[in-house]
């Protein structure tokens, strides 16, 4: 645990983490972490900006933790060793099940790529937008697989 000042968000501020705390985590320069403030926790990654180790503190997380800009707070930070895997939603799973080429191509992506595609689909506000994004992803995966097969 360490104490930090809640800094205003301009351009990427939040909470500065002392370098010795980051080193003690033994997770590298930008480790994935779980941050807890006033019993509110979230997962993030340590950022480095202008030589400072920082954790972004969004308005939503400030509100949930009950803290204000300028306040000095206690921060608990732990190395997050849980694998970050994409949870594929049912509608995407069905679309992939209906297209074996797209399904195999999707399975061959890195975990980060799968998470990004899932995040884009889940960010859709309207059902028709979500359906369009799924169709577009399946078509792209199919086309990418075909183009790789035709390359000598």
* Contacts of 111 by beta carbon, 8 Å cutoff, 6+ apart: 83, 84, 85, 86
Helix axes 127-150, 111-122, angle to 10 degrees: 150
Q: Into which CATH architecture does domain 2-79 fall? A: Beta Barrel (2.40)
Look at residue 49 in the predicted model and tell me its pLDDT.
87
Q: How far is CA 6 from CA 13, 64, 105, 130, in A?
A: 8, 14, 43, 36
Reading the block at residue 148, the tokens are 């790789």
Closest listed residue to residue 31, CA positions, set 82, 99, 105, 96:
82
Domain limits of the chain? 2-79, 90-150
Q: What is the pLDDT of residues 52-99, one digit of tens each?
A: 999 989 888 999 999 999 999 999 999 999 887 889 999 999 999 999
Backbone phi, then psi, for 134, in 5-degree steps? -65, -45
* Contacts of 20 by beta carbon, 8 Å cutoff, 6+ apart: none
When pLDDT is cut at 50, 70 and 90, the band that residue 11 belongs to is: low
**Residue corresponding to tokens 């360490």:** 2
Look at residue 12 in the predicted model and tell me its pLDDT.
61
- Within 10 angstroms of residue 33's Cβ, the number of other Cβ atoms is 22
Contact 33, 2 (CB under 8 A): no
Q: What is the pLDDT of residues 102-137, one digit of tens each?
A: 999 999 999 889 999 999 999 999 999 999 999 999
Model's pTM, two decimal places?
Answer: 0.62
């Amino acid at each position: 645990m360490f104490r930090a000042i809640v800094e205003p968000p301009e351009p990427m501020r939040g909470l500065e983490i002392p370098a010795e705390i980051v080193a003690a985590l033994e997770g590298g320069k930008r480790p994935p972490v779980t941050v807890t403030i006033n019993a509110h926790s979230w997962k993030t990654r340590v950022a480095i900006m202008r030589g400072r180790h920082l954790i972004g503190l969004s308005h939503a997380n400030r509100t949930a933790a009950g803290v204000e800009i300028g306040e000095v707070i206690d921060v608990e930070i732990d190395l997050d060793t849980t694998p970050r895997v994409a949870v594929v939603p049912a509608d995407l799973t069905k679309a992939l099940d209906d297209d074996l080429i797209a399904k195999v191509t999707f399975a061959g992506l890195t975990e980060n790529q799968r998470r990004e595609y899932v995040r884009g689909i889940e960010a859709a506000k309207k059902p028709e937008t979500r359906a369009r994004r799924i169709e577009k992803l399946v078509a792209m995966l199919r086309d990418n697989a075909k183009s790789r097969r035709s390359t000598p």
